[in-house]
């Protein structure tokens, strides 16, 4: 997934432009109940990769139309990604028919990008480089192509004896000779909008698929005196898609190794790649070690000199420098410098761990801010709390934040000492330098510098065991 270099940017073009993404394909060969474009690569639906690439190319969301099928899954997903327009293709009648559904996107002038929602590796630089070729040569259509060693199933680029671009022939319609051609259609096109509008009504179903194929517009434009051209991508991976689970697995492996290769070049250390999955938007600093079984996703940013893993999951978090996370699951949280957590720790959304915090094993933190150099020992739950610096939690402590109807916060001052098996019944406040005795259930505010002991009075029953056993035998 190398990136092309482009010198033309959309804002420099004195013309209109838009993009149409074809995302109405079914998942019959995937054996999935969701649309094919919703199948994931590195934890993100393929359509999400394509939308990000179009945005990277500088095309605003409102100028992007997505053609979907009857299923509303894709509509709901892209509604959370941006202000995209959607168009429904009621019946699957081919790629040409799909573009027709979004024909109102086409202006009187300018250019339109058409691409597939199930080809996740096309990138913004390739899109712009193809536009550069398209505009500078004055083409009516420019097709992005690539060469594959194994081109089975892909439409072939047909060139004339002089090397000029003539047509695209889908694989089922190719002759044996044409099937030997390694140059294939990526499914990415730049059209002059008017040329596409003129060609769409002339499409027919006279092909082996019995569908209106967008690829046929190339021959129609050429026959009408239009100029057709090719932009050959440097990276053949941009054409890769998936029609079944085996191909989807291959996409994930390709993407995984591309991301790891990029991180290796940036100074990140991997002792093994076993079980490691890292999302395409993740940023990791140099000298950080990623250990086996680690999954990092979303917009996560990790600093330098960290050790992450083994068996750790981090999603949409910001991690500082010199952090150790061992068997930790962290979601939508912020972890500052020199924090050590694990094993078997969960950081739920809204958690902030300040510098030098230590989190022991079997601890859960939820929607809480933990101050500098605080230690939260093993078997403890801290939820909806504001904890000061230098606080010490003993084993088995709980902030009881929920009364069955509402949730309340707990506040703990600097350098407080929370004894083992303390229950803090929110809303409650523990003052600075205060101590709670082990086994206490604290229901009232504890003033600074004081000791709180809140236990039931001890009651001793003599000879209880002997009497108990006699009754049991009787």
- Domain boundaries 327-452, corresponding CATH code: 2.160.10.10
Is 60 exceeded by the pLDDT of residue 206?
yes
Is 50 exceeded by the pLDDT of residue 241?
yes
Token pair in block for residue 371: 């101050």
Q: Which band of pLDDT confidence, cut at 50, 70 and 90, is reported for residue 79?
A: very high
> Which residue spans within 262-341 are E strands per DSSP?
269-270, 277-278, 283-284, 289-290, 295-297, 301-302, 307-308, 313-315, 318-319, 324-325, 328-331, 334-335, 340-341
Q: Which band of pLDDT confidence, cut at 50, 70 and 90, is reported for residue 10?
A: low
**Tokens 């691409």 found at:** 115
Q: For residue range 89-131, what is the model confidence (pLDDT) as tens digits?
A: 988 899 999 999 999 999 878 999 999 999 999 999 999 999 9
pLDDT at position 5 = 43
Query: Which CATH fold topology does 10-239 show?
Result: Spore Coat Polysaccharide Biosynthesis Protein SpsA; Chain A (3.90.550)
- Strands 44-45 and 40-41 turn out to be antiparallel
Q: Per the residue annotation, which of 134, 136, 378, 415 is the catalytic one?
A: 378
Least confident stretch, 14-18, 151-155, 202-206: 14-18
Domain boundaries, the chain: 10-239, 327-452
Is 60 exceeded by the pLDDT of residue 76?
yes
- How confident is the prediction for the chain on average, in pLDDT? 92
Q: For residue range 132-159, what is the model confidence (pLDDT) as tens digits?
A: 999 999 999 999 999 988 888 888 999 8
Question: From the CB of residue 405, how many other CB atoms can be counted at a distance below 10 Å?
Answer: 5
Identify the bridge partners of residue 307 per DSSP, sorted by sequence position.
289, 324
CA atoms of 355 and 374, how far apart (whole Å): 9
Is 70 exceeded by the pLDDT of residue 47?
yes
CA atoms of 1 and 3, how far apart (whole Å): 6
Q: For residue range 299-348, what is the model confidence (pLDDT) as tens digits?
A: 999 999 999 999 999 999 999 999 999 999 999 999 999 999 999 999 99
Q: Which of 44, 30, 46 is nearest to 120 (CA)?
A: 46
Query: Which contiguous run of DSSP H or E holds residue 168?
Result: strand 165-169
| DSSP per-residue string spanning 45-109 | EHHHHHHHHHHHTT--GGGEEEEE-S-SHHHHHHHTT-S-EEEE-SS---HHHHHHHTGGG--SS
The pTM for the full model equals 0.87
CA distances from 22 to 179, 196, 261 (A): 25, 15, 30
Token pair in block for residue 74: 């894709």
pLDDT at position 7 = 44
Cα angle vertex 5, ends 60, 61, to 5°? Answer: 10
Q: For residue range 346-390, what is the model confidence (pLDDT) as tens digits?
A: 999 999 999 999 999 999 999 999 999 999 989 999 999 999 999
Q: Is 133 helix (H, G, I), strand (E, B) or coil?
A: helix
CA atoms of 121 and 234, how far apart (whole Å): 13
**Tokens 């084993």 found at:** 395
pLDDT at position 9 = 55
378 classed as catalytic: yes
Q: For residue range 253-304, what is the model confidence (pLDDT) as tens digits?
A: 999 999 999 999 999 999 999 999 999 999 999 999 999 999 999 999 999 9
pLDDT at position 168 = 87
Is 70 exceeded by the pLDDT of residue 13?
no
- 332 touches 315 (CB < 8 A): yes
Least confident stretch, 58-62, 284-288, 298-302, 452-456: 452-456
């Amino acid at each position: 997934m190398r990136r092309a270099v482009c010198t033309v940017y959309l804002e420099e073009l004195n013309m209109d432009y838009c993009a149409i993404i074809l995302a109405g394909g079914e998942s019959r060969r995937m054996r999935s109940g969701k649309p094919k474009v919703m199948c994931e690569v590195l934890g993100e639906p393929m359509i999400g990769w394509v939308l990000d690439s179009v945005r990277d190319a500088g095309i605003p969301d409102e100028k992007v139309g997505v053609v979907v099928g009857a299923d509303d899954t894709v509509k709901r997903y892209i509604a959370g990604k941006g202000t995209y327009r959607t168009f429904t293709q009621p019946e699957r009648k081919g790629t040409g028919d799909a573009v027709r559904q979004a024909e109102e996107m086409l202006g009187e002038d300018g250019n339109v990008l058409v691409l597939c929602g199930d080809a996740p590796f096309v990138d913004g630089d390739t899109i712009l480089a193809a536009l550069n070729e398209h505009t500078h040569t004055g083409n009516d259509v420019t097709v992005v192509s690539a060469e594959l060693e194994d081109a089975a199933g892909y439409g072939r680029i047909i060139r004339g004896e002089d090397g000029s671009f003539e047509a695209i022939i889908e694989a089922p319609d190719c002759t044996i000779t044409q099937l030997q051609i390694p140059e294939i259609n990526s499914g990415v096109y730049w059209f002059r909008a008017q040329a596409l509008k003129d060609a769409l009504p002339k499409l027919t179903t006279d092909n082996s698929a019995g569908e209106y194929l967008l690829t046929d517009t190339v021959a129609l434009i050429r026959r009408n005196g239009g100029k057709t051209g090719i932009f050959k991508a440097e990276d053949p991976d941009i054409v890769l898609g998936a029609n079944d689970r085996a191909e989807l697995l291959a996409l994930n492996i390709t993407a995984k190794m591309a991301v790891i290769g990029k991180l290796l070049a940036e100074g990140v250390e991997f002792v093994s790649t076993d079980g490691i999955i890292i999302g395409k938007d993740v940023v990791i600093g140099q000298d950080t070690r990623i250990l086996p079984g680690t999954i990092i996703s979303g917009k996560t940013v990790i600093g330098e000199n960290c050790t992450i893993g083994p068996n750790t999951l981090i999603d949409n978090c910001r991690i500082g420098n010199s952090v150790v996370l061992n068997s930790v699951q962290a979601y939508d949280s912020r972890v500052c410098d020199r924090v050590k957590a694990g094993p078997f720790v969960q950081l739920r959304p809204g958690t902030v761990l300040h510098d030098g915090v230590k989190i022991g094993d079997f601890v859960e933190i939820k929607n809480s801010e933990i101050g500098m150099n605080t230690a939260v020992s093993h078997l403890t739950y801290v939820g909806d709390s504001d904890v000061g610096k230098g606080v010490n939690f003993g084993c088995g402590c709980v902030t009881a934040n929920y009364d069955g109807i509402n949730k309340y916060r707990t506040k703990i001052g600097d350098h407080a000492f929370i004894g083992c098996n303390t229950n803090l019944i929110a809303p409650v406040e523990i003052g600075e330098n205060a101590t709670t005795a082990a086994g206490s259930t604290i229901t009232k505010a504890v003033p600074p510098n004081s000791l709180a002991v809140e236990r039931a009075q001890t009651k001793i029953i003599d000879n209880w065991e002997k009497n108990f056993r006699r009754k049991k035998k009787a």
